[in-house]
Amino acid sequence: GNSVTQMEGPVTLSEEAFLTINCTYTATGYPSLFWYVQYPGEGLQLLLKATKADDKGSNKGFEATYRKETTSFHLEKGSVQVSDSAVYFCALTGNTGNQFYFGTGTSLTVIP
Amino acid sequence: DVKVTQSSRYLVKRTGEKVFLECVQDMDHENMFWYRQDPGLGLRLIYFSYDVKMKEKGDIPEGYSVSREKKERFSLILESASTNQTSMYLCASSFRQYTQYFGPGTRLTVL
């Protein structure tokens, strides 16, 4: 079946530090992979996505590369800001069916 | 600009009340979803719908029902609210298996 595992938080970083949030997946076929971000008190927003192996999704300084050989889609940012404090969710959708599968979320706090 | 709206941001109800949560999308999406979000548990799918009048159970449908009479509107119904249904409820929509777009969420408290 399909599932997503992401690193547990919470993660606390100083401003301008390097961020990595690990995400691995199990899926049949060729899934599309996503990172969503949830700011306090809000719904989820799409941060970036990749639809096939070796694709790199990027947005707002965040990047993630679809690695089929390691079944991973790790989120990275070179220099985090206080405004990046949020909960980050890794997700996948299969190439059949309409369901999304979400990880449990990783809370990030960036301190000045 | 894509938009998913939910009828309330905050809602307080009493045990045993019937509760309606409504979600509207303006993107002509076929698929609509209801999730609940609880600390440490992430998002759990309650129900989804892939067409008008169609519905499928998700992972935790017990205690909930849904209605989709029009393509743009998907309602979640708590037939008899209980305290363990206190949660954040998130609605989403998508075109086929592509990106899901989320509403702002409804934080429901059942007393």
Instruction: Write down the pLDDT at residue B97.
Output: 66
Q: pLDDT: is A93 or A70 the higher one?
A: A70
Token pair in block for residue B110? 């059942």
Q: How many Cβ atoms from other residues are within 10 Å of residue A16's Cβ?
A: 11
Pick the residue from chain B with its C-alpha nearest to A38: B104
**Mean pLDDT, residues A56-77:** 97
> How many residues comprise chain B?
111
Tell me the C-alpha distance between A14 and A30, whole Å: 37
Instruction: Write down the pLDDT at residue A95.
Output: 65
A32 and B104 within 8 Å at the Cβ level: the answer is no
Closest CA to B64 of B3, B18, B28: B18
Instruction: Write down the pLDDT at residue B42.
Output: 86
Closest CA to A66 of A87, A38, A45, A92: A92
pLDDT by residue (tens digit) across B30-58? 999 999 999 888 899 999 999 998 999 99
Tell me the C-alpha distance between A111 and A28, whole Å: 39
Give residues 74 to 93 of B whose Cβ lies within 8 Å of A: 90, 92
B97 and A98 within 8 Å at the Cβ level: the answer is yes
Question: Which chain B positions have a beta carbon within 8 Å of A99's beta carbon?
Answer: 45, 48, 58
pLDDT by residue (tens digit) across B59-72? 899 999 999 999 99
Report the greatest alpha carbon distance in chain B. Answer: 38
Instruction: Write down the pLDDT at residue A97.
Output: 58
- pLDDT tier at A100 (50, 70, 90 boundaries)? confident
Strands (E) across chain B are located at: 4-6, 10-13, 19-25, 31-38, 42-49, 56-57, 64-70, 73-78, 87-94, 101-102, 106-110
